[in-house]
């Protein structure tokens, strides 16, 4: 009986050590910043009410241990999700700035994923896949965050204005929480993306 008690205490301590700290959904703004190497640092961005200065406060975990991009906040579990840009490793980031590797995504090879966001219902991580020379957006990758295998659906992009591929790469996207419209900003242009077409 004593051995069973010790094992239970050991298992409880492991669970406590590996537990992640969720974000509080309070309208805070977060930034991921890296140099393209192996580390991304996460910051909470605030504005000083007296001076008006913008402050970048790094989260407690100084470095993520991975170069993570295409991030989005998931309202259903209060974590941020993102990917390693070139290898498609899916990560969950907690409120301390620690990143936890989930698995490698089944995305086509040769794509870079720097722009991303989570849909308002929390079900899907939307990523833009870019490739080519010069690098241009060529696909939307929809990662099913409700699936235990994180299934990926690929939607090839075409430009409504040119009838072909886009001619630029979007730095980031945001999804309107009311309409679900995906907005991106690229080369001084505001772009929208249609997940169906």
pLDDT in tens, 48-100: 999 999 999 988 776 667 888 899 999 999 999 999 888 889 999 999 988 89
Q: What is the pLDDT of residue 19?
A: 84
pTM: 0.83
Quickly list DSSP for 82-130.
EEETTT-EEEEE-TTS-EEEEEE--PPTT-EEEEEEE-TTSSEEEEEEE
CB 67 within 8 A of CB 84: yes
Q: What angle do CA 196, 158, 164 make, to 5 degrees?
A: 155
Q: What is the mean pLDDT of residues 105-121?
A: 92
Q: What is the mean pLDDT of the chain?
A: 84
pLDDT of residue 45: 94
Q: From the centroid of its chain, how far is CA 65?
A: 15
Helix (H) or strand (E) holding 189: strand 189-193
Predicted pLDDT of residue 9:
36
Contact 59, 39 (CB under 8 A): no
pLDDT at residue 14 in the model: 38
pLDDT at 164: 57
Q: Do residues 130 and 158 make contact, with C-beta atoms less than 8 angstroms apart?
A: no
Is residue 22 over pLDDT 90? yes
How do beta strands 89-93 and 182-186 pair? unpaired
Q: Any long-range contacts for 60-63 (C-beta under 8 Å, 24+ apart)?
A: 60/96, 60/97, 61/96, 61/97, 61/98, 61/99, 62/97, 63/39
Q: State residue 12's pLDDT score.
A: 39
Percent of the chain with pLDDT over 70: 83
**What's the rounded mean pLDDT across residues 123-152?**
92
List pLDDT tens digits, range 168-183. Answer: 788 899 999 999 999 9
pLDDT score recorded for residue 8: 39
Segment 120-133 shows an average pLDDT of 92
């Amino acid at each position: 009986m004593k051995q069973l008690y010790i094992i239970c205490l050991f298992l409880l301590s492991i669970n406590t050590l590996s537990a992640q700290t969720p974000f509080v959904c309070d309208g805070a703004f977060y930034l991921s910043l890296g140099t393209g190497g192996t580390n991304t640092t996460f910051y909470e961005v605030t504005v000083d009410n007296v001076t008006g200065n913008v402050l970048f406060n790094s989260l407690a975990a100084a470095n993520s241990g991975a170069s993570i991009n295409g991030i989005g906040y998931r309202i259903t579990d209060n974590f941020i999700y993102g990917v390693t840009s070139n290898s498609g490793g899916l990560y969950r980031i907690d409120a301390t700035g620690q990143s936890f590797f989930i698995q490698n995504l089944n995305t086509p090879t040769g794509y870079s994923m720097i722009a991303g966001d989570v849909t308002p219902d929390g079900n899907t991580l939307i990523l833009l896949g870019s490739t080519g020379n010069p690098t241009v957006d060529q696909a939307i990758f929809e990662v099913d965050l409700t699936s235990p295998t994180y299934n990926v659906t690929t939607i090839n992009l075409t430009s409504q204005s040119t009838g072909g591929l886009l001619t630029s790469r979007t730095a980031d996207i945001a999804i309107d929480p009311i309409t679900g419209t995906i907005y991106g900003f690229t080369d001084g242009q505001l772009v929208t993306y249609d997940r169906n077409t």
